[in-house]
Structure 1
Amino acid sequence: MASNLPIRVGDVHEVALATQLAAVVKRAAQGRPVARINVEIGALRQVVPASLHYAWRFVSRETSLEDSELALEFLPCIIRCDCGFEGGMSGEYSVLCPECGRPGTVIQGEEFRVIDIEVLRSR
């Protein structure tokens, strides 16, 4: 994969995600050109949108994914606690229950999943 786009050190996490995403999408598209990929990303994945879009341009270049739009939907972290609480975290990356202070169970926020892929008719 030839590219003139330099990879920046801070983008390494997003490059790995974009590379795996491209592999999944290519397999699903079965060689057809892709117009759009809708992806849900949980807050705990700590993905920087601009970095993921930049990495996507790099990994999709000169492939059937090159002109595709990467549409990202970010999901907040939600925890559930034995005390009955279900909702947002007590701090930015804390899974402690804001009601009782005990650790909660993450029920949303760790996702990185393809929701759907819009493919074009073969050229």
Structure 2
Amino acid sequence: MHELSICHSIADIVTRHAGGRPVRTVHLRIGQLRQIVPDTLVYCWSLVSQDTALEGSELRVESIPAQIRCAECDHVETLTAPVMRCGMCGGQQVSVVAGDEFLITSLELAEA
């Protein structure tokens, strides 16, 4: 369960950026191609934040669908199955254009 170590890293980053202010919500954007289970990440956040300045804060995860672009026909499509092939022309020379993200997008802070 690597989500626990990921939450420790997120907590370190959030604590530094909050500058001592109470954190209400941490917003994340995670691509579907990342091998992260959002529900497990949220659960691990409750463990990592317990008995810290982040206790009571919420982790909100926005899941980003995986998308590919075909090098042959320039078609962009959202993947519904783990098949890296263009649905328009069948080309296999594709590049990932979305779904590989892992970002802390914003923090909601309480008044100090």
TM-score by length of 2: 0.88
- What is the rounded CA distance, in whole Å, between the counterparts of 1:50 and 1:84 in structure 2? 34
Give identity over the alignment, percent: 37
**Runs of 4 or more consecutive aligned structure 1 residues displaced over 4 Å after TM superposition:** none
Which sections of structure 2, spanning at least 5 residues, go unmatched?
none
- What is the rounded CA distance, in whole Å, between the counterparts of 2:9 and 2:22 in structure 1? 18
Structure 1 residues 90 and 81: alpha-carbon distance in aligned structure 2, compared to 1, 3 A threshold: farther
The reply to whether residue 27 of structure 1 matches residue 4 of structure 2 is no
- What is the rounded CA distance, in whole Å, between the counterparts of 1:90 and 1:39 in structure 2? 22
- What is the rounded CA distance, in whole Å, between the counterparts of 2:93 and 2:5 in structure 1? 30
Structure 1 residues 103 and 19: alpha-carbon distance in aligned structure 2, compared to 1, 3 A threshold: farther
The reply to whether residue 45 of structure 1 matches residue 34 of structure 2 is yes
Which sections of structure 1, spanning at least 5 residues, go unmatched?
1-11
Deviation at 1:112, TM superposition (A): 1.0
Deviation at 1:46, TM superposition (A): 2.7
Greater fraction of residues in strand:
2
CA RMSD of aligned residues (A): 1.5
The 5-angstrom pairing of residues 84-103 of structure 1 reads 84-89=74-79, 91-92=81-82, 94-99=83-88, 100-103=90-93
Residues 19 and 59, structure 1, Cα contact 8 Å, conserved in 2: yes
Structure 1 residues 90 and 67: alpha-carbon distance in aligned structure 2, compared to 1, 3 A threshold: closer
**Partner residue, 2:68:** 79
2:2 is paired with a residue whose SS is helix
1:44 is paired with a residue whose SS is coil
Amino acid at match of 1:66: E
Residues 34 and 101, structure 2, Cα contact 8 Å, conserved in 1: yes
**Partner residue, 1:111:** 101
